[in-house]
Structure 1
Amino acid sequence: MEISCVALLVLLLSVHRCLVSAISDGLLPNGDFEKGPETSDLHGTKLMGKFSLPEWEISGFVEYIKSGQKQGDMLLVVPEGAFAIRLGNDASIKKKLRLTKGMYYSITFSAARTCAQAEKLNISVTPDFSILPIQTMYSSNGWDSYAWGFQAEFSDVNLVIHNTGLEDNPACGPLIDSVAIRTLDPPRRTNRNLLKNGDFEEGPYIFPSTSCGVLVPPNIENNHSPLPGWIIESLKAIKYLDSKHFLVPNGKRAIEIVGGRESAIAQIVRTNPGKLYALTFAIGDANNACQGSMMVEAFAGNKALKVPYNSKGKGGFKYAMLKFKATKTRTRVMFYSSYYHTRSDDTSSLCGPVIDDVRLLSVRHHH
């Protein structure tokens, strides 16, 4: 009898814990859609019914796509595993999340275009939303991973990924796969660096199996960047890299400027007017066959510096320094790449210089 009592207690505790547990970092429950619908909930590829997709709630024309599936003569790209979902016209998937109010989070998900031209996705967590354009393909394998950051205003929220597009053919929407979350630890300035998150170690979740990094789209709301401290203030995304798959100059994470002058990353930092400062940073290549003459332009206050780097595409880096005198109490530090690059082994994949270990310190005047 005692055994069953204990078993019952364990069961009750686990049920209770399941109900109140906050979400943990990594793939969301059935975030990779590998747990499929019942056969009775599937009509061809179309999911039938609001709760036909395990752990999600669906709305509108949502399809369950198997790897290797074709549409006409087009092979549909399933980013990871054997299954993905496709969002038709005005269709969405929704999941309830239990978060810690006031904390910052980042959602990472993979998306692939199919036959629509101007793809846009509306990603939202109550009450915040952003429209992410996904028409630019950065990698040639047909899909990219994207990150989106937000601050939890409530503890119980809905995460919704919604295809706002209206195509003549509803089966032309984007494919979605691998939805994950990461709690962001707001970085602080230290006495070794006036910039926050200058080493880029704090950022969105990167799937351990994904070898193409995560795109951080342009920020409309810079206070909720999935890359804390930094503003992507440009038309194109930048790419967030991990040391498991790329050469990273320092630590485990770095950024790659994949869109030339259209990928700019900036941070506004407190400075004392009249004081002299030194901005140092690493520039290199990610060991991803991105070759040629690269150039990073760095800006701080009213000073600019062009740093050339000749890439063999095999993973190297060097350091550069920009000294400037602050003229205001707030100084903008910004980087972009002068040129566009594509990979030598795959000319339809955008790539570019890597930036890492960005430090800003005040320096004493030397007489």
Structure 2
Amino acid sequence: MNRFAIPQWEVVGFVEYIESGHKQGDMLLVVPEGSYAIRLGNEASIKQKLKVQKGMYYSITFSASRTCAQDERLNVSVTPDFGILPVQTAYSSTCGDYYAWGFEALFDEVTLVIHNPGVEEDPACGPLIDAVAIRTLYPPHLTKENLLKNRDFEEGPYFLPKTTCGVLIPPNIEDDHSPLPGWMVESLKAVKYIDSEHFVVPHGKRAVELVAGKESALAQVARTTAGKVYALTFSVGDAGNGCEGSMVVEAFAARGTVKVPYESKGLGGYKRAVLQFTAIANRTRVVFLSTFYHTKNDGSLCGPVVDDVSLLSVRGH
């Protein structure tokens, strides 16, 4: 009833404090971390003021779980930026879904708002929010060794210490303030950002898992010269998370395309692939997606892993 009842946070509207093990009818509400979470009712929000550095980029990571609403969304904002995140899809059945959202700080103090714009008959059908964190992003610069930024996905959102299911980069994320610097998610579903502490990663400490078939596309626009020949090389593998089956990653650039098959036993591993193409403009969109949909035995969405991406011009043939 008091808008400052939760220390450090301000609540607006119908917000409930949910204890782990709480039941709503036949539904058990799972609290991803600790013993408590909050549930946002119709048009309800939680907000907190953050001290940041003006001009820097940041990524917010938080857990969001749907309850009984059919079409749950969240409006995440730091003035003047905002993003609508669909949370009706349950990507993992064993732990909560963790989402990332990025922004550029235009002031030294900003207000983070997580808002439920839904209007349900039952206001108790709003999403659960838990485990909120923030991380400063340091967007990589272009180098002569590669025409792609953040080619190895090493720069990205924060992994909460108890997170074992990766962090989702939501759909319709543009590259201006992406929580995965340099990359965009041009699809209806999210891609999953994974770390080497909990998954098998082909190279370095981070990679991306394409978890929703052709609805889950990862893209970046690179500077090219029309008429020049380029080689796009990358790794395709599995995350060692029990995701088995015949996988195929499709890569697109200019008029070129390649389908890379990978037979996964769910134990980790990868192969290298290459797409050679001729640029037709001064900007070339590089896109990766999974041809097929995959699920693990527990019903969690999964898919092939993409990592260690390189784009270079090819002299001669």
TM-score, normalization: structure 1? 0.85
What residue is the counterpart of 2:312 in the other structure? 361
Following the alignment from structure 1 to structure 2, what is the Cα–Cα distance between the partners of residues 61 and 278?
A: 54
Letter in 1 for 2:268: G
2:153 — aligned with what?
200
Point out where structure 1 has 5 or more consecutive residues left out of the alignment: 1-47
In the alignment, is residue 154 of structure 1 matched against residue 154 of structure 2? no
- C-alpha deviation, 1:364, in angstroms: 1.4
Question: 177-186 or 324-333, which moves further after superposition?
Answer: 324-333
Counterpart position of 2:245 = 292
The offset of 1:141, in angstroms, is: 3.0
Give the residue type in structure 2 aligned to 1:246.
F
User: 1:99: how far off?
Assistant: 1.1
Paired residue total: 317
Amino acid at match of 2:315: R
Counterpart CA distance in 2 for 1:331 and 1:54 is 48
1-side partners of 2:119 and 2:229: how far apart? 54
Partner SS for 1:223: coil
What residue is the counterpart of 1:267 in the other structure? 220
Aligned equivalents of 2:260, 2:63: Cα separation in 1 = 33
The one-letter amino acid of 1:362's match is S
Identify the residue that residue 21 of structure 2 maps to in structure 1: 68
Partner of residue 240, structure 1 = 193
Query: Percent of aligned positions with the same letter in both sequences?
Result: 69
2:4 pairs with one of 51, 60, 65: 51
Q: Which residue of 1 aligns with 2:184?
A: 231
- The residue type paired with residue 170 of structure 1 is P
One-letter code of the match for 2:283? R
How far apart, CA to CA, are the structure 2 residues paired with 1:73 and 1:321? 50
Asked if the contact 1:112–1:142 (Cα under 8 Å) also holds between the matched residues in 2, the reply is no
Aligned pair 1:212/2:176, yes or no? no
| Aligned amino acid, residue 238 of structure 1 | V
Higher mean alpha-carbon deviation, 220-229 vs 117-126, is at 220-229
CA contact (8 A) 2:174 2:183 kept: no
Quick check: 1:165 aligned with 2:146?
A: no
1:165 positional shift: 1.0
Once residues 49 and 34 of structure 2 are traced to their aligned partners in structure 1, the CA distance between those partners, rounded to angstroms, is 23
Partners of 2:119 and 2:278 in 1: CA distance: 52
The question of whether the paired residues in 1 share the 8 Å contact of 2:42 and 2:117 is answered with yes
- Counterpart in the other structure of 1:281: 234
User: Which residue of structure 2 lines up, in the alignment, with residue 189 of structure 1?
Assistant: 142
Structure with greater helix percent:
1
**Which residue in the other structure is 2:210 paired with?**
257
Contact 2:200 2:269 in 1 (8 A): yes
Note if contact 1:113-1:143 (Cα within 8 Å) is conserved in structure 2: no
Distance 1:56 1:230, change over 3 A: same
Cα offsets for 1:28-62 (capped at 9, x unmatched)? xxxxxxxxxxxxxxxxxxxx201100110111111
Q: State the match for 1:116 in structure 2.
A: 69
Alpha carbons 1:58, 1:92 under 8 Å: kept: yes
Q: 1:220 Cα deviation (Å)?
A: 4.7
Match of 1:104 among 39, 54, 57: 57
Q: 2:128 aligns with which of 151, 155, 175?
A: 175
Residue type matched to 2:99 in 1? Y
- Secondary structure at the residue paired with 1:180? strand
CA drift of 1:247 comes to 0.3
The code of the aligned residue for 1:251 comes to G
Is the partner of 2:300 in helix, strand or coil?
strand
1:317 to 2:280 alignment: no
Shift of 1:253: 0.3
Q: Counterparts of 2:228 and 2:148 in 1: how far apart (Å)?
A: 16
The 2-side partners of 1:285 and 1:361 are apart by 25
- 2:258 corresponds to 1:327: no
For 1:160 and 1:266, the matched residues in 2 are separated by 28
- Give the conservation status (yes or no) of the 8 Å contact 2:168–2:192: yes
- Distance in 1, Cα, partners of 2:277 & 2:138: 30
- Do the aligned partners of residues 221 and 282 (structure 1) sit closer, same or farther apart at CA in structure 2, a change above 3 Å counting? closer
Gaps in structure 2 of 5+ consecutive residues: none
TM-score norm. by structure 2 comes to 0.98
Q: Which residue of 1 aligns with 2:302?
A: 351
The answer (yes or no) to whether the contact 2:95–2:165 under 8 Å persists in 1 is no
Provide the secondary structure at the position in 2 that maps to 1:261. helix
In the TM superposition, residue 142 of structure 1 has moved relative to its aligned partner by 6.2
Q: Which stretch of the first structure deviates more once superposed, 323-332 or 299-308?
A: 323-332
The letter of the residue matching 1:354 is V
Q: Quick one: distance in 2 between partners of 1:120 and 1:142?
A: 19
Measured on the aligned residues, the alpha-carbon RMSD in Å equals: 1.1
Report the structure number with the largest CA radius of gyration: 1
**Matches of 1:149 and 1:60, distance apart in 2:** 25
Q: In the alignment, residue 22 of structure 2 is paired with which amino acid? A: Q
Q: C-alpha displacement at 1:324, in angstroms?
A: 1.3
Match of 2:292 in 1: 339
Show the counterpart of 2:88.
135
- Distance in 1 (alpha carbons) for counterparts of 2:198 and 2:45: 32
Secondary structure in 2 matching 1:143: coil
